[in-house]
Every structure is written in C-alpha cells, then in structure tokens.
Homo-oligomer: A and B are copies of this chain.
Amino acid sequence: MKLKEAFELIKSNLGKKLVIVIGKCRVRYEGRATSKLSEGDRVLIIKGDGTFLVHQNSGMAAINYQGPGSVARAELNAFLRIISERKSKKLNERIDVDFSSVDFAGSFDLIDDKQISIYGSEKDLSNLLLQDLNIVESGLVPVQQESSFLKGRMDIVARDREGRLVVIELKRRQAEFSAVTQLKRYVEELEKRKNEKVRGILCAPGISKNALSMLEKSGLEFSKLDYAIEKEVIIKGLEKKQKTLDFY
C-alpha cells in the first residue's frame, strides 16, 4: 500500500472512526518519560476517543501509548508520520510514529455502547462476606462497610463476639507488605478515633512469609479466604455459595 494512499485514508478519518495502520515504523515518545523504538513492524490503533496504541507482535501492553483525549494528526513527507499529542497544564506528551512502509491501513465505524460487567472483584467478595462474617470468624457482626475517613477506606468493620471492633482488609490475591501496612494504618486510625482497642484481620487467599511475620509482630491476624469463581462464586470456608446464574 502506498504511503500517500494510507495518508489520505488516515487524514480523512482521524477523530471520526477507529483507524488502524500496520507497517514498518519507528516510534518516539516524549512526556512523563522519553522513549525510542527503532524500525520494525507494528500495529497502530487510534480510537474514536483519541486513545493511541502502538503494539508489537508480542506482549500484552502497548509498547507506546497515549490515553483518551489525545489528538492525532498525520503528515506526509519521506515518511508517513502520525503524531499524537496530549497537552495539560502540567505536562505535554507526544508520540511520533514514522512509517516507512504500510502493509495495511483502514478505518472502522464501531458502534458499541455496551459496558462490561465483571463479577469477582474485591467488592463482590466483600459483599459476599458481609452476608455472613462467620466465614471469617464465628460471632462477627458487621458494623459498616467501606467506611471512609481521611486516612483511607476500610473494607469491612465489624464487632466480634466480645464486642471488640474489628477491621477486615480483604485481598483477592496473595497479600504482601502493602496489605499489612494498610491494615495497620486503619487499625491505628480507628483506635485513635474510637479510643478503644481494635483488632485487624487480613483476609486473603494467601500471604507471603515476610508479610505474615510483620503482620503477627504488629498484633494483627490473618484469615485464609478460600474462594473460587466459576459459574458460581464459592467461598469454601463454610460452603458459602452465591449463585451467579442470574449473572448470565
């Protein structure tokens, strides 16, 4: 495909349709960082909202990118240059893609107002647990959920069978140091606010050895959260199930 042909197609569709260009190109980026990528075959996608993505033939992430709101334009000289700029008060960012040859260029009018629905997020697990905190510890009664204060946002607050306040921090994957310090912060803040002793329970499918050590040294507790997400979400601790058939 001729560069000029690609240029015309891109020029007349940028900002309207989704544009795809595939070919041999170099890429430069300047903004929050600086990058260069010498010549090779890549896929360039420019979305209707300005999103600008340069993909190589491997890896999940775009090798160079610019978010929604960016403005793209094309220039034709020795190369077909496609530029994406994003300007804000604090920062200007720019990507230059120089195509020396184009294998394919096309534009597509994508009609799509649908939003994805995801089930199995931390919030979903939290809601499920809230229905029966006995899964975490017998006798726990929820006090409030996601209570926000200036120091952050707690997942679950409850009282144990002896009436003590308990903060529960939920993680959907292996817990690390950050989860421990996060929980510690909430516990300390809540103790100060309520002026009473507060327990902290980290509830996750696993925890690293060092994080566990730090957790215990801080007087906090770990509760293994055994869950599976298939056609239904199953928290194995107490055979707790929530059918998600209606989800489909």
List residues of A whose CB falls within 8 A of some B CB.
18, 20, 22, 27, 30-43, 45, 47-49, 51, 53, 55-60, 62-65, 67-68, 103-104, 106, 108-121, 150-152, 172, 177-178, 181-182, 184-185, 210, 214, 229-231, 244, 247-248
Contact = CB atoms under 8 A, between A and B. Distances in A.
B181 A108 contact: no
Contacts of A31: 229
Given A41-B108, A47-B58, 4 more contacts: A20-B20, A34-B120, A35-B116, A36-B247
A42 B110 contact: yes
A20 B27 CA distance: 21
Contacts of A118: 33-35
Nearest to A18: B57
Among A40, A60, A67, A109: residue with most chain B CB under 10 A? A60
Given A60-B65, A104-B108, A152-B177, A40 B210 contact: no
Contacts of A110: 22, 40-43, 56-57
B48 A58 contact: yes
Contacts of A121: 33
A32 B177 contact: no
Contacts of A56: 110, 112
